[in-house]
Structure 1
Amino acid sequence: MTSPEPPVLVIGECVADIVRTDGAPDRVHPGGSPANVAYGLARLGRPAMLLTELGPDANGRLIRAHLESAGVVVRAAEAARTPSAVVRLDGLGRAEYTFDIGWTLPPTDPTDPYPTDPTEPAVAPAAIHLGSIGAVAEPGAAAVLARVERWRGRAPVSYDPNVRPALMGERAEAVRRVERCVALSDVVKASDEDLAWLYPDERPEAVAERWLALGPAVVAVTLGAEGAFALTAEGGYVRAAAVPVPVADTVGAGDSFTAAFLDARAAGTGLPGCLTRAVTAAALTVSRPGANPPSAAELAAALARYDDYDDHDDAGAR
C-alpha cells in the first residue's frame, strides 16, 4: 500500500476579512495570508496542512469550513476569538486593512501534527511555509520558528513577510525579525510594497540580492501591475509580465502567487515556468472578489488562454 504524500505544512494565522465598501453591506471572507496559501495549494491539488489558531465563534467555523472544503487539513489551537481585519477597498480595488489580531500559538499543543518534542513523527512534511503576522508577532512567532528550525534541512522552507505596518512595530526590529525568517528559508517571496516599507528608498532588486546573501536559493518579488521578477543564488534573473485582467480587488493576490509558485516548484518546474504560473494565478484572483485562488483546472485554462502574455525573460547571470 502506498503511503499518502506528506503535506506542505503551512504555519500561521487565519483572519476573517470584513470587506467594507461605501454604499454596500459588509462582506466576510475567510483570509489570513498563511491560510490563503494553504487554501491555494489545496485548490491546485497539492496536499496542505495548516497549523493555526481559531476562536470558538462564527468566524472560526466559517474559516475552518472554507479551508476544509478545498481539502486543507486544519490543526488549530483554540484562541479566545478568531482574528479579524476590516478591509477597505479604494476605487481601484486596492485594499487597506485595520486589524484585530492576537497570535499566541503554544510551543506544544495536542493538535500539533509536528510537535517539537522527541516523539514527533519520523516523516517530515513535504515543505514548510511561514509568513506574515504569525512569523513575527510574539508570543506565537517563537513557536513558529522553533518548528521551522526543528525541520529545516529535512524539508524546504518558504517565507512571505506580507508586511502589515500597523502590526510590525518599530521598523528596525521588524527588519531584524524578517531577516531572521529570510535566513531560515530556501524560497522567499515578497511584494514591492513589503520591501518599500522595510527598506525605504532601496530598489527591490537590491534588496532581493541582499536577501539572497542571507541564504535563500530564490527570492521572488511581485510588482503589482508590472508583474514579478525572481533572482537566484546562482545569479539568474527571470521576469514575467502581469496578465491584464479587470480588477475586482487585490485581496489575496500575493498569496495566490505564492501558492502557485510553490506548487510549480514542487512539481519540478523551472523558474520561468514557476513565475508565469504564479502571475497568472494572481491575475485570476484579482479578477474576482476576495481571496479566491484558482483551481488546477482554472489555472491550466488561463495559462492556455493568456499564452500571448507569457513574456518572461531569463536574462542569465547578473
Structure 2
Amino acid sequence: MTRPASPVLVIGECVADIVRSGEGPDRVHPGGSPANVAYGLARLGRPVTLLTELGPDANGRLIRKHLESAGVLVRAAEVARTPSAVVELDGQGRARYTFDIRWTLPPAELTEPPAAVHLGSIAAVTDPGAASVLALVEHLHGRTPISYDPNVRPALMGDRAGAVRRVERCVALSDLVKASDEDLAWLYPGERPEAVAERWLALGPSVVAVTLGAEGAFARTAEGGRVVVPAVPVRVADTVGAGDSFMAAFLHARAGGADLSVCLTRAVTAAALTVARPGANPPSAAELAAALAEADGRES
C-alpha cells in the first residue's frame, strides 16, 4: 500500500477581507496570506495543514468552510474574534488594507514531520504569536524545506529597522523566499530588487524569487543562477491574493521537481488567473493546466 504523502504545514493568519470598491455593498472574502497559500496548494492537489487562529464568529466559520472545501486540514487555536481587514480598491484594482488583527498563537507540537513548512506575513513578525512560529520553524530548520513570504503590511510592521531585523531572521531560516518589489521597496528604500535578492541569498536561502507586477518575476539562486519570466497579460479585477497564488504554484511546482524556469512560469500564470477574478481565488490544478496549455499553443 502506498503511504499518503505528508502534508505541507502552513503557519499563519486567517483574515476576513472586507472588500470595499465604492461600487455596491462590501464583500467579505476569506483571506490572510498564509491561509491563501494553504488554499492555493490544496487547490493544486497538495495535502496541506494550516496552523492558525480563528474566532467562533461568522467570519471564522466562513474561512474554515472555505479552506476545508479545498481539502485544507485546519488546526486553529480559538481567539475572541477572527481577524479582519478592510480592503479598499483603486481604479486599477490595487488593494489598500486597514487591519483589525492580533496574533497570539500558543506554542504548538507536531504529531508527524511535515513534507515542508511555509510561513509568512503578519504571523512571522508579530508578537506574541511570532515567538511560537519561530520556535517551531527553528526546530525544523535543516530537516524540512522551509519557505517564507514577508508580504509586508507597513501599518503592522512597526519601525522599519526593527521590521528588517525580524524579516531577515525569517529569511535566514528559509530555503526559499519570495517577495514582491513593493515589499522590498518598503524594507530597503532605494535599493534595487536584484541587490536585495543577493543580500538575502547571503543569509542562507537557496532561492529568492521576486514578483514585479506587470513586469513579471525573477529568481536568483545561491549558485549564481538567474531566471526571468514575463507577466501574463490579463484584465485585472483586483490584485487580492495574487502573490499568494504565485507562492502556492511555485511551491507546488518545486515540490514536483520542476526547474526554476518552469516554477516561475507556473507561478506567474497562477497569479494572472487570480487577478482576473475578484478576491483571493487561486486556480485549481485543471485551470492552471488549461492556461499553461493555451499559452503553449499560442507560442507554437
Shared fold per TM-score greater than 0.5: yes
Q: What CA distance in whole angstroms lies between the structure 1 residues aligned with 2:188 and 2:297? A: 35
Superposed displacement of residue 143, structure 1? 0.2
Size of the alignment, in residue pairs? 299
Structure 2 counterpart SS, 1:98? strand
Structure 2 length-normalised TM: 0.98
Q: Superposition pairs for residues 164-243 of structure 1, below 5 Å?
A: 164-243=153-232
Partner of 1:256: 245
Q: Which runs of 5+ in 1 are unaligned?
A: 109-114, 311-318
User: Does the residue aligned with 1:260 lie in a helix, a strand or coil?
Assistant: helix
Task: Give the deviation of 1:255 after TM superposition.
Answer: 0.1
Distance in 2 (CA, whole Å) between partners of 1:286 and 1:307 is: 21
1:171-215 deviations in Å (ceiling 9; x for gaps): 000000000000000000000000000000000000000000000
Distance in 2, Cα, partners of 1:307 & 1:244? 14
In the alignment, what sits opposite 2:50?
50
Alignment of 1:73-112 (within 5 A): 73-108=73-108
SS in 2 for 1:213: helix
- Is 1:10–1:130's contact at 8 Å kept on the other side of the alignment? yes
Find the partner of 1:295 among 272, 284, 293: 284
Distance (whole Å) between structure 1 residues aligned to residue 212 and residue 53 of structure 2: 31
| Paired amino acid for 1:238 | V
Aligned counterpart, 1:18: 18
The one-letter code of the counterpart of 2:161 is A
Separation in 2, partners of 1:22, 1:205: 37
Partner of 1:269: 258
Q: Deviations over 1:238-264 (max 9, x none)?
A: 001000011000000000000000000
Q: Report SS of the residue matched to 2:17.
A: strand
Q: Which residue of 2 aligns with 1:36?
A: 36
Q: Distance in 2 between matches of 1:56 and 1:309?
A: 48
1:309–1:163 distance in 2 versus 1, CA, 3 Å: farther
CA–CA distance in structure 1, aligned partners of residues 107 and 73 of structure 2: 20
1:4 maps to 4
The alignment partner of 2:124 has SS state of: helix
Please report how far the alpha carbon of residue 224 of structure 1 lies from its aligned counterpart in structure 2 after TM superposition: 0.2
| CA distance 1:127–1:246, shift in 2 (3 Å) | same
Q: Deviations over 1:145-191 (max 9, x none)?
A: 11111112221000000000000000000000000000000000000
What is the Cα deviation at residue 309 of structure 1?
7.7
SS in 1 for 2:203: coil
Partner of 1:27: 27
SS at match of 1:269: coil
**CA-to-partner distance for each residue in 1:87-122, whole Å, 9 max, x for gaps?**
0000000000000000000014xxxxxx0xxxx53x
Partner of 1:150: 139
Q: CA-to-partner distance for each residue in 1:45-102, whole Å, 9 max, x for gaps?
A: 0011100000000000000000000000000000110000000000000000000000
**Equivalent of 2:116, from 112, 127, 130?**
127
- Letter of the 1:288 counterpart: R
Percent identical among aligned pairs is: 81
SS at match of 1:299: helix
SS of the counterpart of 1:86?
A: strand
User: Unaligned stretches of 5+ in structure 2?
Assistant: none
Aligned AA (2:296): D
Secondary structure, aligned partner of 1:87: strand
Partner of 2:293: 304
Supply the distance in 2 between the matched residues of 1:58 and 1:305 (Cα, whole angstroms).
Answer: 39
The letter for the 2-side match of 1:277 is R
Structure 1 letter corresponding to 2:151: N
Q: CA deviation at 1:27?
A: 0.2
* Distance apart, 1:124 and its partner CA: 1.3
TM-score of the two chains, using structure 1 as the length reference: 0.93
